[in-house]
Amino acid sequence: MRFVIVTGMSGSGKTQALKMLEDMGYFCVDNLPLELVGKFAELASNPAQEYSKVALGLDVRSMYKGGNSALGFLSIMKEYPHETIFLDCSTEQLVRRYKTTRRLHPLSQGGRIQDGIAAERSYLMPLREAADYVIDTSSLLTRDLLGELSRLFSEEAQEGTVFLSILSFGYKYGIPSDADLVFDVRFLPNPFYVDALKHKTGNDLEVQQYVCQNPDAGCFLEKITDLLEYLIPKYRAEGKRQLMVCVGCTGGKHRSVTMANKLGDYFAKSPWPASVLHRDITRQ
């Protein structure tokens, strides 16, 4: 039986993630009071029950308003085999989502949304630190989130495998909060200063050829793939299930996209399941 806990910041997409898991065949329950979580986990873990895949949604309301804590939840769940996915999101994006939907943040208490988000982030930090998987949804499209969840929790997902996420980004927009390893490729020639390439991206062949014609690009790829081939089994031995490898350049459109794609091509032929995402490729 596979038991998945879906938690994270309010507004980060937990409800949407549960619906996606439900479509994958999971029996989903959302926002149980913390007092009932232990009983639910006991029932779900019973070999006699008919469900082979169960997902439980948990948000800050289940703990904060009941006078409980994230540490209390962790104490309850340590007796039951489970996996936890934590959905995170930048404060800026969460504020934008709440203003768009005109909903109240559960901890804002009629005050500023930012204050409620800050309180929630502090309150849920133990859950984030203990999570098996952390996904930052700040710039993810629905299809990207579905792809990540399918890769982690579909029938094809293999237990004991380290799932490799390769993310390109622009330093001018900040380092991704869920990064495990960060590599800077700003040492490579920048296609932005070539008029014919300026408005193209690292998904275009002309940009890829321009970046990769530099000998340092090939040397970088060789050294990084060698490092990752060494590190991934080490992380797996320590029980890590997801590795977020981030590749950054100035704007996140040319060099980082090219190198992330090349890394994705390399690991597509390896035993390690890998996905490639480009966080800032559509920014102007």
- Other CB atoms within 10 A of residue 244 CB: 21
Q: Which residues pair with 163 in a beta bridge?
A: 242
Q: Which residues pair with 167 in a beta bridge?
A: 246, 277
Length of the chain: 284
Q: Give the count of beta carbons closer than 10 Å to the beta carbon of residue 3.
A: 20
Mutual angle of helices 215-237 and 205-212, in 10-degree steps: 90
* Least confident segment among 130-134, 146-150, 151-155, 195-199: 151-155
- Band the pLDDT of 49: cuts 50, 70, 90: confident
Q: Residue 68 pLDDT > 80, yes or no?
A: no
- Across 181-185, average pLDDT: 98
**Mean per-residue pLDDT, 49-60:** 85
Residue 66 has pLDDT above 70, yes or no: no
Taking residues 126-150, report their average pLDDT: 88
Q: Which of 137, 138, 94 is nearest to 115 (CA)?
A: 94
Ramachandran area for residue 29 (φ above 0: left; ψ -120 to 50: alpha; else beta): beta
pLDDT in tens, 193-239: 999 999 999 999 999 999 999 999 999 999 999 999 999 999 888 77
Q: Which residues contact 111 (CB under 8 A, 6 or more apart)?
A: none
User: What pLDDT shows up at residue 163?
Assistant: 85
The pLDDT score that the predictor gives to residue 104 is 81
Residue of 65 and 92 predicted with greater confidence: 92
Does the domain made of 2-153 have the CATH classification 3.40.50.2300?
no
Q: For residue 45, what pLDDT is reported?
A: 78
Tokens of 115: 């204050």
169, 188, 209, 249, 264 from 213: Cα distances, Å: 21, 10, 6, 17, 19
Query: Which alpha helices (H) appear in 124-214, and where do they start and end?
Result: 125-130, 142-153, 205-212
Q: What is the mean pLDDT of residues 171-194?
A: 95
Q: Which of 259, 272, 99 is nearest to 182 (CA)?
A: 259
pLDDT at res. 59: 83
**What local confidence, expressed as pLDDT, does residue 195 receive?**
95
Q: Average pLDDT, whole number, for the chain?
A: 88
Q: Which two tokens stand for residue 145?
A: 């989130």
Position with higher pLDDT, 223 vs 33: 223
Domain boundaries, the chain: 2-153, 163-278
- At a CB cut-off of 8 Å and minimum separation 6, what does 59 contact? 7, 8, 10, 14, 31, 106
Q: At what angle do helices 70-77 and 34-45 cross, to 10 degrees?
A: 20
Span 25-31, average pLDDT = 90
Please tell me the predicted confidence (pLDDT) of residue 105: 82
Q: What is the DSSP letter of 192?
A: G
Predicted TM-score (pTM) above 0.85: no
Per-residue model confidence (pLDDT) at position 50: 72
Cα separation, 119 vs 111, whole angstroms: 12
Q: Which of 83-87, 225-229, 271-275 has the lowest mean pLDDT?
A: 271-275
Question: What residue type is assigned to position 179 of the chain?
Answer: A
